[in-house]
Structure 1
Amino acid sequence: MPDISSIFWPIDLLNPSTTTKLLIVGYQLHNKTVIIDLVKLETLDELNLKFTDDFELSIIGVMNVSSSEYRIFSFNNGKPILSDTENLILFKPPQSKKLEYYSIDPIIIDIFWNNNSASLDSSKKEPYSKKLSHHFPKNDKNNDLKDCLKFINLTNYSRFKLSKSVKKKSKINYKFIVSSSNYILFLISYIYSMTIQRICLVLTNILSYQIKTSSGKKLSLASSSFLLHQLNFRFKQFYNLPTQFQKLKNSKIESEKLIIKGTRFSPSEYIKFYNTLWLILNDLLLGLITSNSLAKHHEFITEQINSITTTFHQTLFQMINWLMNSPAGFKLNNELSSFFGDLFIWVLTFWNNSILTLILKNTSIMLTIISFLVKYGGLTILFAALIDVINIITFQIYCFYFASTRVFNWQSHILRSLFRLFYGKKYNILRNRIDNNDYEFDQLLFGIIIFTMLVYLMPTVIAFYLNFVVVRMLCMASNLVLEAGLITLNHLPIVVFLLKLKNKDRLPGGVVLNSLVDSDHNGLYFQLLTESLSLKEILKSHFKSMFDFNLINLKEFYDECDDISVIENWKRFSVVGVARKVVLGELIELFEYRKMF
């Protein structure tokens, strides 16, 4: 049985001229042929078919002329007539300048910019990947298809080289326009790098400068405040824009070179740059609208903030008084509830007289400053400032929650230890296990007395503990909503979603061959199409790159940090994990947004 061969034909070369003598030029690969272009026969002597040592075009055939040297192609209904052992596969030539290409492997969605040395760039990875390739068997069929796609992706590049070999002179006006635009672009980038970029670099270094504490923790201004962190993030964006733009230019120029090398090319720089611009513009536009609203309703918003803050703290006073006087009819220990209540009320009164009063007096000034920052910094500045304000206003609640959690944890731990005492067990702290132990009568008697006292005090501790847990979780929920808004506005792959709607060819997730039938002549042919990434694949790839970005950022603050650290941070959103910590009396930790992003 004869071998089946395939001819890949561009759809823009269908229905060719029936009068002009044409050469059919393409690449020949084993039993596969990739047609590149149709060239006039009179330009044969001027054609340069060899671009590099590895890539050389061939004359596949001729049209509208008789020839004994080359195959003569004829057309019917706009498509070439082939033999029974040949498959016709039509394809749309990818626009390499628009970063379109065919690929078996799905594209990697990575919008995160990080110049940290922790991640190897593609140039450093390439020699290692070449060495590793010798140790793994190759799939010949898969490689043949990849080679065919490589030639197809070079269609426009090959056509440009062909036209360049024929037309060696270009118009002077075109050259002048190109040189002028390049000069203007260079001048703008130079002014930007000498002014804005340098200012952003200084501010970023100040905000990111780390101080190591006595406990070994690394602190910086950006990691201590959400507002400063967001400003630092915005300064980094403006600082990296010229570098991203240059990488975008290089990616457009080097796209063909990377394809020729056989390197897995991905338009990630295009996505990074334009995604950054989109997010900044959206943020600034939303910030401008919000700032105008804040300025227009300044007095009303100030009154509402003061009213809500005052009502919130009055509710805290009422809740503590309610806990001191048999809440919901439950009889608590009067002495312990009075002690806890008086202590919390004293702290709350001190906080209101010293800190809260100062904040309420300057609410209008704070709102004016925030409105100014939001106008020029974007809506994310408002979210970050709100988180900082909430953390300051509710700091005393965190102190109450911390104290009640420690008391509950300490008491429940002692009760568990005393319960083991009754059946002759004790916890071996050295071997991390429970061992048998013989206790004396006086030890058992003393343990029973302590156990009984703690059991009677436990309901009072639980009442205060659960109430402050609920209040603390409400504050954390508001913070989490605002942090989710920050993540969305700062790291949403909006350009990827727009490309998904506008031009799917820029998001290849594989290739498919659709079989079609010519109704007039009952001929079967195929069409090569790009299978774009699904929404699930986009989100999966985005979360994977976000995970790597989080890991790199965490390593700047923790010497020993791995994938588990990132997973544990994201698990703090888990309802099951939070419920477990509430039952065991463990502190519910906040999501480390400032260190992960």
Structure 2
Amino acid sequence: MLMSDGLLRVFWPYDLPRSTSPGVIVGWRNSELDLFVLSVLEDVEPRNVENALRAGILFRNSPHTITQIFSLCGRSAMHVLGSTNARTLPATFNPSHLHVTTSPSCKVPHIFCPSETNISIQIIMFSRPHPTRMQYMSLDPISLALGDKQPIAGRDELDSVDTEEEQEKARIAKLVEKLKLHTVVRHVPSQKEQVLPIILNQINCAFETGKLLERNSKLIGTRVKRSMSVSERVIESASTLRDLFVLGVSYVFWRWIWPVITRCFVIGLLCHRAVAEIILQILEWRARPEAAALKDISATAQQVDIRLQQFCYWPIQYIKLRQRKNNWESVTTSHPDYIRFYNSLWLVANDVIIGIALGSYIIDNAHWVAYQINIILNGWTVEGLQRTISWLMGWPAGLKLNKELAAFLGDLFLWVIEHWAAFIANLQPYLPHLIYFVGCSSFAGASMPVALFSDLLSILTIHIYSFYIASARIFNWQLSIIISLFHLFRGKKRNVLRNRIDSCDYDLDQLLLGTILFTVLFFLLPTVIVFYLAFTSARMLIISLGAALDTCLAFLNHFPLFALMLRLKDSRRLPGMIEYFYMLFTCVTSFI
């Protein structure tokens, strides 16, 4: 029975032969008027092709079971959809058997459909993805993150600390879902949208299935020749003395040598995994549940953690890639793993190559690099900071500060800087050796010296961080006291239990003492603000340098280099242009 919309939809591959020879169209029949063409078999009869499909002759010598292709494509059997370049055209239109005319000069086939049938024809041309080249189409973009890693032992105890946070996230997710129910933008997916993934699976399987049908088309109407047995193949391959020698050597290698090599390699992987797990546990150890782990504090520890996780995950990824050889190439579930695996390998290889070049330069110029770092440390973090504090102790930019408070804070900070300068002077003889060690670590990748420099930046500027924390605490305490005294001056107080401002009756001596303290602290506030802004600016500059180094680490560890290369080399190996295909496929009706 014809569909009510009166529209015949035919999916036709671009790369099908456009010869003038007669042929038989084979494909999927999604519904009465929704047809998907897989291949055109020439020089065969439609009846013989139909019988071959029922008997499974066209599926012989398939690398894997054909039922999996049927399951992916959402169909239980293939059908003969029509004929091409028939000698005589029928008098009436029959949707169960199309008559198509093709020619080398016309890219789009012409379907015989008289105007009195009142049926419109829509031919959707598509390029079949080449599964051997790992080309495929997908509705979802791939993710290069290691999202399916194996859980690390002991991680459950650490995750239990974040129970409240997870509950809060679940509550917010429920609220978001309730909000989606009341929006006018959201709509229930139609049957046409639900059938789109099956159409994409049919497109992904079209090339491999079509080639299988074309290879077996020669078996239609002929008797299949019996293949040689294993003993016959052995006798044929060992017909000469040279073949016997090669066969004996290969037998010894695969029977005795190769198992030993693989067993040693597996033992090495297990030892590496055990050591890596121990180091990962050390990097994730926390003194208290709410305390930060070592990898959260140190950039070097975090870099080691990333590399160890990658090394532990590579065997799992490789096993997945090996398993895809046991399945049809049209099955695209392993393609993201392939891209993630080689993207990770390429990033590590580039990291090591850049690290060797960088490490060679640092090792050859260790004394010069140490000398430059020493000049920067003394010029910016010691002498420059001393000049800034001395300037703040006067009248900075014409501001008249409290002389006594500025002198007290300045002398305190200068005293700390003098002790820090003595520490830097004691460190100076060992600085070339430290730079040499950083250069040697570059042979593990350029990310290691960058991480070490980030940690050195944090360690060698710890006095600035201390000044920032001290000035921020003083400013916070003073501002909090001023706000409390301002409420007292207005006859109010803050109710901590109810988190609100209430009225309060104060005695005269309380009001007088509060007014005096408010006045003193308010006039001392500009001096504290000036020191706070100075150290905050210095801290922000250090944070900016650290952020630049972290950005370099992010590029070295997570840049999608292999994916971009695939995009430039063969964009069909990455899911893309799905919006365009979605507009084409929205016309597809539901399956019958």
Matched, 1:510 2:561: no
Q: What is the letter of the counterpart of residue 342 of structure 2?
A: Y
Change (3 A) 1:368 1:190: farther
**Pairing of 1:7-406 with structure 2 (within 5 A):** 7-16=10-19, 18=21, 22-30=23-31, 31-39=33-41, 44=49, 45=52, 47-48=56-57, 51-52=66-67, 54-63=75-84, 73-76=100-103, 77-78=105-106, 79-84=108-113, 85-103=120-138, 105-115=139-149, 139-159=190-210, 161-162=212-213, 191-196=264-269, 198-209=271-282, 210-214=284-288, 216-251=289-324, 254=327, 265=333, 267-312=335-380, 313-353=382-422, 355-375=423-443, 377-406=444-473
Classify 1:512/1:222 alpha carbon distance in 2 versus 1 (closer, same or farther; 3 Å). Answer: closer
Alignment-mate amino acid for residue 328 of structure 1: A
Preserved CA contact (<8 Å) 1:24 1:35: yes
In structure 1, distance between residues paired with 2:17 and 2:214: 19
| CA distance 1:211–1:4, change in 2 (3 Å) | closer
Alpha-carbon distance in structure 2 between the residues aligned to 1:366 and 1:317: 26
Deviations 1:13-66 (A, max 9, x none): 132362xx6433211111122221233556855753573274322222345777
Residues 411-456 of structure 1, C-alpha deviations (whole Å, 9 max, x = no match): 0111111111111111111111111111111000001111122123
Alpha-carbon distance in 2 for matches of 1:319, 1:71? 88
Distance 1:439 1:58 in 2: 95
Q: CA RMSD in A?
A: 3.9
How far, CA to CA, are the matches of 2:516 and 2:123 in structure 1?
Answer: 92
Find 2:523's aligned residue among 436, 456, 475: 456
Q: Aligned equivalents of 1:347 and 1:187: distance in 2?
A: 63
Shift of 1:251: 5.0
CA 1:86/1:114 → structure 2, altered by over 3 Å: closer, same or farther? closer
1:491 and 2:558 are equivalent in the alignment: yes
Equivalent residues of 1:6, 1:86 under 8 A apart: yes
User: Take 1:162 and 1:296, find their aligned partners in 2: how far apart are those partners?
Assistant: 64
Do the aligned partners of residues 299 and 17 (structure 1) sit closer, same or farther apart at CA in structure 2, a change above 3 Å counting? farther
TM-score, structure 1 normalization = 0.72
**Larger deviation: 412-421 or 250-259?**
250-259
**What per-residue deviation string (whole Å, max 9, x for no partner) do you get for residues 141-171 of structure 1?**
2344443333222113323554676588599
Residues 386-465 of structure 1 mapped to structure 2, 5 A cutoff? 386-465=453-532
C-alpha distance in structure 1 between counterparts of 2:261 and 2:354, whole Å:
27
Q: 1:389 to 1:498 in 2, by over 3 A?
A: same
3-state SS of paired residue (1:93) = coil
Relative distance call for 1:484 and 1:219 in structure 2 (3 A) is same
- Distance in 2 (CA, whole Å) between partners of 1:188 and 1:509 is 46
1:25 to 1:364, Cα distance in 2 relative to 1, 3 A: same
The Cα shift of 1:292 comes to 2.0
- CA drift of 1:7 comes to 2.1
SS of residue in 1 equivalent to 2:112: coil
CA distance in 1, matches of 2:200, 2:148: 31
Question: Max radius of gyration: which structure?
Answer: 2
Q: 1:319 to 1:192 in 2, by over 3 A?
A: farther
TM-score, normalised with respect to structure 2: 0.73
Q: Deviation at 1:512? A: 3.1
Task: Evaluate the alpha carbon distance shift between residue 190 and residue 274 of structure 1 in structure 2; reply closer, same or farther with a 3 A threshold.
Answer: farther
Asked if structure 2 preserves the Cα contact closer than 8 Å seen for 1:111 and 1:493, the reply is no
Aligned-partner Cα distance in 2 for 1:2–1:411: 77
CA deviation profile, 1:56-79 (whole Å, cap 9, x unmatched): 222223457779996654423355
Deviation at 1:483, TM superposition (A): 0.9
Distance 1:249 1:337 in 2: 70
**Displacement of 1:231 after TM fit?**
1.8
Aligned letter for 1:433? Answer: R
Structure 1 residues 253 and 3: CA distance shift in structure 2, 3 A: farther
SS of residue in 2 equivalent to 1:154: helix
- Aligned partners of 1:204 and 1:232 also within 8 Å: no
Partner SS for 2:57: coil
Counterpart-to-counterpart distance in 1, 2:212 and 2:359: 53
Tell me: CA distance 1:365–1:486, structure 2 relative to 1, closer, same or farther (3 Å): same
Q: 1:147 to 1:269 in 2, by over 3 A?
A: same
Shift of 1:373: 0.8
SS at match of 1:331: coil
| Change in 2 beyond 3 A, CA 1:242/1:186 | farther
Say which is worse superposed, 289-298 or 236-245, in terms of deviation. Answer: 289-298
Alpha-carbon distance in 2 for matches of 1:62, 1:37: 11
Q: State how far apart, in whole Å, the 2-side matches of 1:29 and 1:2 are.
A: 15
The alpha-carbon deviation at position 197 of structure 1 amounts to: 5.8
More moved, 480-489 vs 67-76: 67-76
Q: Is the 8 A contact 1:317 1:345 kept in 2?
A: yes
Cα deviation per residue 1:276-318 (whole Å; 9 max; x = unaligned)? Answer: 1121122112112211222333332121111111112111122
CA distance, structure 2, for counterparts of residue 48 and residue 138 of structure 1: 39
Q: Which amino acid is the alignment partner of residue 107 of structure 1?
A: P
- Measure the CA separation in 1 of the matches of 2:349 and 2:482: 58
* 8 Å Cα contact 2:98/2:112 also seen in 1: no
Counterpart CA distance in 2 for 1:29 and 1:198 is: 53
Distance apart, 1:193 and its partner CA:
4.1
Spell out, residue by residue over 1:453-501, the C-alpha distance to the aligned partner (whole angstroms, 9 max, x if none).
2123222212211111111111111111111111122112223323332
CA 421–34 in structure 1, closer or farther in 2 if over 3 Å, else same: same
Q: 1:421 to 1:237 in 2, by over 3 A?
A: same
When residues 425 and 351 of structure 1 are mapped into structure 2, their CA distance, relative to the original with a 3 A threshold, is same
Aligned-residue offset at 1:385: 0.6
Q: Is the 8 A contact 2:363 2:440 kept in 1?
A: no
In the alignment, the residues of structure 2 paired with residue 73 and residue 187 of structure 1 have an alpha-carbon distance, to the nearest angstrom, of 60
Other structure's SS at 1:319 match: helix
Aligned residues: 489
Q: Distance in 2 between matches of 1:245 and 1:421?
A: 70
- AA aligned to 1:206 is I
Alpha-carbon distance, 1:331 to partner: 3.0
Structure-2 change in CA distance of 1:17 and 1:391 (3 Å): same
Q: Deviations over 1:241-279 (max 9, x none)?
A: 1211222344575576867xxxxx583212211221121
